Structure 1
Amino acid sequence: MAQRRLDEPTKADLEKMAAGIQANTRVNLASLDGTSAVGHFISATRCIYRYAVDTGWIRPVDNPARQLTMPTRQPSPRYAIPANQLSEIWTVAATTGNDADLDALILRLHIETACRRGGALALRPHDLDPDQCLIYLREKDGTDRWQPVSPTLMRHLLEHAAERHSPRSGQLLRYRNGRPITSRRFDHIWQRIGQCRRSSKCRPVAREGLWI
């Protein structure tokens, strides 16, 4: 296909390419059986041919991409975590590991605000408004917002910042030695949760946590 002129491929050729892309798509929870990859392929192909028509390289009638049909969008496989599973996850995170207080705070932050990992890492003490129980989140694609939180979460965020000496304009979430956490902490949390749920030797110790 790479050696052919732009006006040589037919609709059947492009459909064959799309089928090959779908068949060889890497399978994961977000792949939707390859239909998402096919949709991106068709969008990109249409864009290329639209540009070719606009610049006069080919005639509109020679544009095979306009005849391609977008695959039907499938329902997302994502779903809310059931309450009992969420409780198990939080219990393991808040009662095991080398810094259970930090991990419990991280999970509580995500549960209440639904922020992304980047939003949690970008949070600063300066972003906390304890009077109105608001935190300022800065997330991907320039999405910034004030997010209401519970008085309990606000109190723990303030205590965390004070105890771990977080600079007012620096990263809030930190280890006990004052070093800011990185995205690896999130990986560590989920690896530990997965290992603990699979192991009968894991016995979380009851303690007062952030649900109080």
Structure 2
Amino acid sequence: MKLSVFLPFCYALTNDASAELYHRYWVMLSEHWGDRELNEVTPGDIKMVAKAARRTAVSRSNSQNGLYAEQHLIAAARKLFALAMAEGHCSRNPAQLVEMPKRPRSPRHAITHQQVGELFEACERDEDTVALRFMVETGCRREGLVNLQRKDLRPARQTVWLDEKNSARREQPVSEALMVALMNQDCHLYDMTRRRLDGLWVRVKRNLPWAQDLGIFSHWLRHYAITSIESVSGYATAAAFAGHALGGGNATSTYVHKSINDVAGAWSRLWGEPHPLAPPPQGATADSPERLST
């Protein structure tokens, strides 16, 4: 079967999020080698298209000179040929023989409480402020915000359920003020899309040169939120807050697993306000962020 003929099956056999990510790169593979039989495509063919993806990548402050585009094309090719093998249309996966370029050490780091305050001050719209507040309080991934629905709110528990990576769900504490904002009938977060979230950061960086220089985007606030929780509670609670599994795969990780109550307690200590799932805090720590208005 020719690559271009098999391509429509890739979308049918792949979840929507992955198909959206791979779409551009599958199209590039089809444009270059669509007339080839799947078994005729070589590792060199894929490497050539990967280099082309890197050369033509849109230049952004965090794009690493097209490195991510090259990586995504190789990953997309590996997925395409894995699907073709599973369906019996080819006998090998040539993309597995293409070396994945190594990423340099990420320049991303936890920004300061002052910088987070400046991000809020740079917001041009009320809905932007609520979106930033949601990211700072929950430490959510981008999918957690984009996938948010009203049915995910738990007002009595003062929590929200995040629907994130690989459809994994976790309950996360929020402030009373944020819950009120989320319950408002005019709340715009339920209409959030990736494009609108990108627009939020365009507006913020337009007003903050340092944010433009660093290439600030949503994951920087996730980094900030997780490290802030870790500073008042330790690694295990920060891992639970982040939705990460504790490493090691041994029995110890079972015993030190933290519950939503542990996370809410850490959240309460960090922000210096009570939460229904945690004991009343004794007061914010010296390293607590300043209160940021919604």
Q: TM-score, normalised by structure 2?
A: 0.44
Deviation at 1:27, TM superposition (A): 2.7
**Structure 2 equivalent of residue 155 of structure 1:** 176
Deviation at 1:181, TM superposition (A): 4.7
In the TM superposition, 1:17-166 aligns within 5 A as 17-25=45-53, 26-27=56-57, 29=63, 31-32=67-68, 34-45=70-81, 47-48=83-84, 51-52=88-89, 63=91, 65=93, 69-72=97-100, 74-75=102-103, 78=106, 80-84=108-112, 87-94=114-121, 96-99=123-126, 102-121=127-146, 122-124=148-150, 127-131=153-157, 133-139=158-164, 141-147=166-172, 149=173, 153-161=174-182, 165-166=184-185
Deviation at 1:185, TM superposition (A): 5.0
Deviation at 1:23, TM superposition (A): 1.7
CA distance in 2, matches of 1:34, 1:2: 19
May I ask how many residue pairs the two structures share in their alignment? 172
CA distance in 2, matches of 1:190, 1:136: 24
**Structure 2 equivalent of residue 194 of structure 1:** 205
Write the letter of the residue equivalent to 1:18: I
1:127-147 Cα distance to aligned partner (Å, 9 max, x none): 13454x432223464322212
Unaligned runs of 5+ in 2: 1-32, 211-289
**Structure 2 equivalent of residue 169 of structure 1:** none
Report percent identity of matched pairs: 15
**Structure 1 equivalent of residue 257 of structure 2:** none
**Structure 2 equivalent of residue 56 of structure 1:** none
> Cα 1:36–1:103, aligned 2, differ >3 Å: closer, same or farther?
closer
RMSD over equivalenced CA pairs, Å: 4.1
Query: Is 1:93–1:104's contact at 8 Å kept on the other side of the alignment?
Result: yes
Write the letter of the residue equivalent to 1:159: V
Deviation at 1:15, TM superposition (A): 2.6
CA distance in 2, matches of 1:6, 1:97: 50
Structure number, greater radius of gyration = 1
CA distance in 2, matches of 1:157, 1:67: 46
> Cα 1:40–1:194, aligned 2, differ >3 Å: closer, same or farther?
same
SS at match of 1:97: coil
CA distance in 1, matches of 2:103, 2:118: 31
SS at match of 1:146: strand
Q: TM-score, normalised by structure 1?
A: 0.57
CA distance in 2, matches of 1:125, 1:48: 38
Write the letter of the residue equivalent to 1:88: Q
1:159-183 Cα distance to aligned partner (Å, 9 max, x none): 3246xx43xxxxx8349xxxx6533
Question: Relative CO higher for 1 or 2, CA cutoff 8 Å, sep ≥ 6?
Answer: 1
Write the letter of the residue equivalent to 1:112: E
Query: Is 2:43–2:95's contact at 8 Å kept on the other side of the alignment?
Result: no
- Higher helix proportion: 2
Deviation at 1:64, TM superposition (A): 6.2
SS at match of 2:97: coil
